[in-house]
């Protein structure tokens, strides 16, 4: 029997025995297809234009600390990218949406004049069905930073005007659904300090060289029309970026030929 016939024969009993899981998968499939349609309408069905990491940080030589190598965190190069962006901005005012264990904050905040982090409160996480184990990890790596203000609130319902502040660098890493990314994107564009201010979105791909359609669609639909031409994918990371300055870009190409290499050293310490 062919694999196709076997799959068809197994389909009905599998659905009957796992109805709720099937419905969730069907909804996810439908949402991804809708997101792909949105991205295609903007002409980016093959991915956002790519800006090279070394165009943004030509003298990249950095390190990070307090990194877990566990699920749910950004990749090391994503954190290096954020840290060095903040370092490149004089008196950087930083906003982060979505922090969890705090691995990005513990590396970026020391490079900033001030920082604000907005994440779900513990009660909001409980109300959404998060396990106590996940809630326990909230802010795990954070210590007292005098220049960091932490706010426990859903970013989609938070009144950002209450901050009475604008920002040089904003990192969006909260709800990764289309609607969540769209809402956060619409909010943060109103919080840019000036014409040089930057937004970074995490998880624009599941891997370094693919596209996560739901995140990209949320970014494009949430961004002001006049800003969309300055939104790019950052090479060698999972990040997207709004970068208003003129910069060299290239067309997305799958299976990229390496044009740089990275030297990496790792040191581990028990907690």
pLDDT digits (tens, 9 = 90+) for 199-246: 999 999 999 999 999 999 999 999 999 999 999 999 999 999 999 999
- pLDDT, residue 15, reads 64
Tell me, letter by letter, the H, E, C secondary structure of the chain: CCHHHHHHHHHHHHHHHCHHHHHHHHHHHHHHHHHHHHHHHCCCCCCCCEECHHHHCCCCCCCCCCCCCCCCCCCHHHHHHHHHHHHHCCCCEEEEECCCCCHHHHHHHHHCCEEEEEECCHHHHHHCCCCHHHHHCCCCCCCCCCCEEEEECCCCCCCHHHHCCCECEEEECCCCCHHHHHHHHHHHHCCECCCCCEEEECCCCCCCCCCCHHHHHHHHHHCCHHHHHHEEEECCCCCEEECCCCCCCECCCCCCCCCCCCCCCCCCCCC
Average pLDDT, rounded, for the chain: 94
- pLDDT, residue 212, reads 95
Domain boundaries, the chain: 3-41, 50-242
- The pLDDT-based confidence of 143 (bands split at 50, 70, 90) is confident
Tell me the whole-structure pTM to 2 decimals. Answer: 0.93
Out of 3.30.2350.10, 3.40.50.150, 2.40.160.20, 3.40.50.970, the CATH code matching 50-242 is 3.40.50.150
Q: Give the least confident one: 31-40, 58-67, 118-127.
A: 31-40
């Amino acid at each position: 029997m062919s694999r196709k016939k076997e799959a068809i024969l197994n389909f009905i009993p599998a659905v009957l025995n796992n109805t709720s899981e099937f419905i969730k998968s069907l909804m996810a499939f439908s949402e991804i297809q809708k997101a792909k349609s949105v991205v295609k309408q903007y002409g980016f069905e093959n991915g956002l234009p790519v800006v090279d990491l070394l165009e943004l940080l030509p003298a990249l030589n950095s390190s990070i600390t307090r990194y877990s190598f566990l699920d749910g965190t950004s990749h090391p190069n994503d954190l290096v990218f954020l840290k060095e962006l903040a370092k490149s901005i004089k008196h950087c005012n930083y906003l982060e949406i979505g922090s969890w264990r705090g691995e990005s904050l513990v590396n970026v905040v020391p490079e900033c004049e001030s920082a604000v982090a907005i994440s779900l409160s513990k009660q909001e996480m409980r109300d959404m069905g998060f396990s106590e184990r996940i809630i326990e990890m909230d802010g795990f790596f954070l210590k007292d930073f005098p220049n960091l203000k932490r706010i426990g609130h859903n970013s989609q319902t938070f009144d950002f005007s209450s901050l009475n502040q604008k920002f040089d660098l904003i990192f969006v890493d909260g709800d990764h659904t289309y609607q969540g990314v769209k809402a956060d994107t619409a909010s943060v564009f109103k919080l840019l300090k000036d014409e040089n201010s930057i937004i970074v979105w995490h998880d624009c791909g599941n891997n370094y060289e693919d596209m996560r359609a739901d995140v990209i669609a949320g970014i494009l639909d949430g961004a002001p029309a006049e800003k969309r031409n300055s939104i790019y994918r950052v090479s060698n990371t999972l990040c997207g970026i709004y970068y208003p300055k003129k910069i060299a870009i290239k067309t997305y190409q799958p299976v990229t030929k390496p044009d740089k290499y990275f030297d990496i050293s790792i040191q581990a310490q028990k907690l």
